[in-house]
Amino acid sequence: MTSSGSTASRRDLSMLMPAEPDVTIVWASPPVLQLPPNLGFEAMRSLLRTRLAPQKEEMKGVAMRVDIAASALQLFDLRRLGLFLKDEFAIDVIGLTCPPEALQRHAERELKLKIHLQMPEPPPPRVEIVRVEVPVPVVVVEPAPKVEVEPPPPTPVEVVVVEELPPQGDRVLIVDYTLRSGTLVSFAGDVHVYGDVNPGAQVVAGGNVVVFGSLKGQAHAGNRQDGSFVMAFDMRPTLLRIGRLQLAGTRDPNQTGRFAPEIGYVSQGSIVIEPYRGRLPVKEVS
């Protein structure tokens, strides 16, 4: 393994070089994999593949922490990242450093990862300092409490629950695949599904639910917010809930779709579904 000295020099280098997206490994204990900012999952994966390939042997079986501080990874990418590292490099991801609170909650609850709010400082580089009376302040790193952490489970994350909105950034959770039976997506903001919601799947949103496909499962909009709506290109839910109201399925979810956008919203104390004509209903103040 690389000694801490070379880590320091690599760090210095990175300060001099123009900021190019790169992966850094800090050989702390446990080692930390720092991911570059502003990369999506696909780009990140190919970068990791090329970067880690030369060190594949020495990284085998190493338990690592991942710092995704400023990268553009989404909620759903975390698990894929963990599996990717495990499969290709046999790296166990045991911890995570990331800013938005939502991600942390997700990681802690669903992926059983230990969350670190701060990066541990690497040991200070040994530099000869002349005529310094005050010693260089040494950042005392408290050893991370030993927690028995399992690697991310091989079973899929079928349930995504985010109860609080991230303080900044996306208020819309985008689900870019079809939700199959048995999956639950719950988000404090709006949820957009670019696919179908199949029978047996459930979408819960604090705000609106928009399905750019067939809504055949359950949808619950506005459990936080009045005046929310559910919109779908093909509206055949088994159960539609808006706020505290509910409407049991009146259409057969097993029939083939017709694809005519419809909107469900609350009007005079009950849920109405009508064709969507390109205009949102006027919000009723309750």
Find the binder of other proteins among 54, 143, 156, 167 (CB under 8 A).
Answer: 156
* Nearer Cβ to other proteins (250/254): 254
Q: Is 218 in the site for other proteins (CB under 8 A)?
A: no
Nearest-approach distance from CB 181 to other proteins, in angstroms: 4
Sole window of 107-115, 125-133, 191-199, 262-270 interacting with other proteins (rule: CB under 8 A): 191-199
How far is the CA of 86 from the CAs of 23, 56, 81, 94, 102, in angstroms? 17, 12, 9, 11, 24
H-state helical runs in the chain? 4-16, 41-52, 56-59, 77-89, 101-110
Q: Does 249 bind other proteins (CB under 8 A)?
A: no
Q: 3-state class of 47 per DSSP?
A: helix
Site for other proteins in 38-97 (CB under 8 A): 80, 83
Contact flag: residue 2 with other proteins (CB under 8 A): no
Q: Binding of other proteins at residue 269 (CB under 8 A)?
A: no
Residue 273 engages other proteins in binding (rule: CB under 8 A): no
Q: Does 158 bind other proteins (CB under 8 A)?
A: yes
In the complex, what is the shortest distance from the CB of residue 128 to other proteins, in angstroms, rounded to a whole number? Answer: 51
User: Which DSSP string corresponds to 157-217?
Assistant: --EEEE-S--SSS-SEEEE-S-B-TT-EEEESSEEEESS-B-TT-EEEESS-EEEEEEE-S
Report the candidate in 68, 88, 70 with the shortest Cα–Cα distance to residue 78.
Answer: 68
Backbone φ/ψ region at 186: left (φ over 0), alpha (ψ -120 to 50), beta: beta
Work out which of 50, 118, 254, 286 binds other proteins, going by CB under 8 A.
254
Q: Are strands 230-235 and 159-162 parallel, antiparallel or unpaired?
A: unpaired
- Interatomic CA distance for residues 212 and 196, integer angstroms: 7
Query: Count of alpha carbons within 13 Å of 285, Cβ hemisphere only?
Result: 0
Among 45, 180, 224, 251, binds other proteins (CB under 8 A): 180
Task: Give the torsion through C-alpha atoms of 225, 230, 236, 239, to 10 deg.
Answer: 0
Q: Does 154 bind other proteins (CB under 8 A)?
A: yes
If one asks whether residue 247 binds other proteins (CB under 8 A), the answer comes out as: no
257 binds other proteins (CB under 8 A): yes
Quick one: 38 or 155, whose CB is closer to other proteins?
A: 155
Closer residue to other proteins, CB minimum distance, 177 or 194: 177
Q: Is 161 in the site for other proteins (CB under 8 A)?
A: no
Positions in the binding site for other proteins (CB under 8 A)? 80, 83, 154-158, 177-183, 196, 198-200, 254, 256-257
